[in-house]
């Protein structure tokens, strides 16, 4: 089976995206295919089209930058947050590991752009939001936690987050079509305006809104080349630890492949740090930054590390194999958008087929707190 078959399978779904790019890289080579449309004007999707990868930024940029800093001895997974950033809402004893595992107790999401008091200091807006849960009180997927990780990277490097990601991740790997927006064409559109976040604020779902402010100037036009995520766009200048990165299938496969074979790249990774990063913590299905599943490969079960993004994108890798898989889509243009996970599970059997049973390749559904398909911006 091939990337083209993965694209065809996703485009054949009910509520299919307007356009899809899928790809896989193994030791035997890489295969990337595209189909459908990249925008409302009818531009054809190509394998070189860049996408707003939404929460895939959490692993492709933030987690990978932290991995490099750990390998260089400039940061430790168990270092306390307050060593780098003071005055946060985090409880005493909160570490980088807690943030990567989504166990710091921070809120999943709040609309920072409605906080008029801290309009010129979005970091202060995050710090002013009290904890929702206790430290180590289970996994609660948190955009706010990864915003804080972005600030930690900036504090350690002494550089803005976008410059730090460029120095630590994209430049060393030669990822020329990966970075924060505004992003040059060819680039896929992600949505029409802020409709999803507007509904979230109006309805208070899936998260209660803490501020009483509701008036805001929302985007109504087709979004292309600038970040879809409302907090990243309206409050954080397009650069944040939880979202904001644009990339192509080719660049993401390059990143996934080198992470999936760290021993081949000693100039980039400390193998012990990579092993620790990829190990599940207290919550099944959650490593450091990455989610984990098991899929069927060659008649057995093998571990898949992956992460979805709200815009319809996902990146995965098979540790120790050099194999990586990617799905990029414009899911939000469907009349009733399918969750990113549904698109991913439809594409995956064609990208990483099992020799004995090609249809038995859905990841185990062991993510206890998955909100990428509904809305974590």
Q: What is the DSSP string of 129-187?
A: SPPSS-TTSS----HHHHHHHHHHHHHHHTS-HHHHHIIIIIHHHT-TT-EESS-PSSB
Quote the number of domains for the chain: 1
Cα 76 to Cα 348: distance, rounded to the nearest angstrom: 34
Lowest-pLDDT choice from 102-111, 118-127, 154-163: 118-127
In a domain, 373, yes or no: no
Q: Which pLDDT belongs to residue 353?
A: 81
With 90 as the cut, is the pLDDT of residue 373 above it? no
With 80 as the cut, is the pLDDT of residue 299 above it? no
Q: Which pLDDT belongs to residue 367?
A: 46
Q: Which pLDDT belongs to residue 377?
A: 40
In a domain, 91, yes or no: yes
Q: Which domain holds residue 178?
A: 3-351
Cα 313 to Cα 126: distance, rounded to the nearest angstrom: 26
In a domain, 141, yes or no: yes
In a domain, 199, yes or no: yes
CATH number, domain of 145, equals 3.40.710.10
Four-residue CA torsion sign, 165, 169, 171, 177:
negative
pLDDT band per the 50, 70, 90 thresholds, residue 51: very high
With 80 as the cut, is the pLDDT of residue 285 above it? yes
Find the largest Cα–Cα distance for the chain: 59
In a domain, 207, yes or no: yes
Task: Quick: pLDDT tens for 300-330.
Answer: 889 999 999 999 999 999 999 999 999 999 9
- When the pLDDT of each residue in the chain is averaged and rounded to a whole number, the result is 94
In a domain, 129, yes or no: yes
Q: Which H or E element spans position 347?
A: helix 340-351
Q: Which of 226, 231, 189, 252 lies closest to 59 in space, CA to CA?
A: 252
């Amino acid at each position: 089976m091939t990337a083209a078959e993965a694209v065809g399978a996703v485009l054949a779904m009910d509520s299919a995206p307007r356009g899809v790019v899928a790809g896989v890289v193994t030791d035997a080579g890489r295969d990337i295919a595209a189909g459908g449309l990249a925008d409302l004007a009818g531009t054809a999707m190509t394998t070189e089209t860049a996408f707003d990868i939404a929460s895939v930024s959490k692993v492709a940029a933030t987690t990978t930058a932290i991995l490099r800093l750990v390998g260089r001895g400039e940061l430790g997974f168990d270092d306390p947050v307050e060593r780098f950033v003071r005055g946060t809402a985090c409880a005493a004893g909160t570490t980088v590991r807690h943030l990567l595992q989504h166990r710091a107790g921070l809120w999943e999401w709040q609309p920072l752009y409605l906080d008029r008091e801290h309009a010129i200091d979005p970091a202060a807006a995050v710090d002013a939001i009290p904890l929702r849960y206790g430290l180590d009180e289970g996994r609660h997927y948190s955009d706010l936690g990864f915003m804080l990780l972005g600030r930690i990277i900036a504090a350690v490097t002494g550089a803005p987050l976008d410059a730090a990601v460029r120095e630590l991740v994209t430049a060393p790997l030669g990822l020329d079509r990966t970075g924060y927006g505004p992003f040059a064409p060819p680039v896929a559109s992600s949505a029409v305006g802020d409709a999803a976040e507007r509904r979230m604020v109006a309805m208070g779902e899936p998260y209660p809104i803490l501020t009483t402010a509701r008036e805001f100037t929302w985007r109504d036009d087709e979004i292309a080349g600038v970040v879809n995520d409302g907090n990243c766009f309206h409050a954080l200048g397009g650069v944040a630890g939880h979202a904001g990165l644009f990339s192509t299938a080719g660049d993401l496969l390059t990143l996934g492949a080198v992470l999936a074979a760290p021993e081949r790249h000693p100039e980039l990774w400390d193998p012990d740090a990579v092993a620790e990063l990829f190990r599940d913590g207290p919550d099944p299905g959650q490593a450091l930054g990455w989610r984990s599943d098991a899929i069927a490969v060659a008649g057995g079960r093998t571990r898949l590390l992956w992460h979805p993004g709200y815009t319809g994108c996902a990146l995965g890798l098979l540790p120790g194999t050099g194999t990586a898989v990617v799905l990029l889509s414009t899911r939000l243009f469907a009349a009733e958008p399918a969750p990113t996970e549904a698109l991913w599970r439809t594409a995956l059997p064609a990208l990483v087929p099992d020799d004995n049973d090609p249809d038995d390749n859905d990841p185990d559904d062991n993510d206890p707190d998955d909100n990428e398909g509904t809305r974590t911006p």
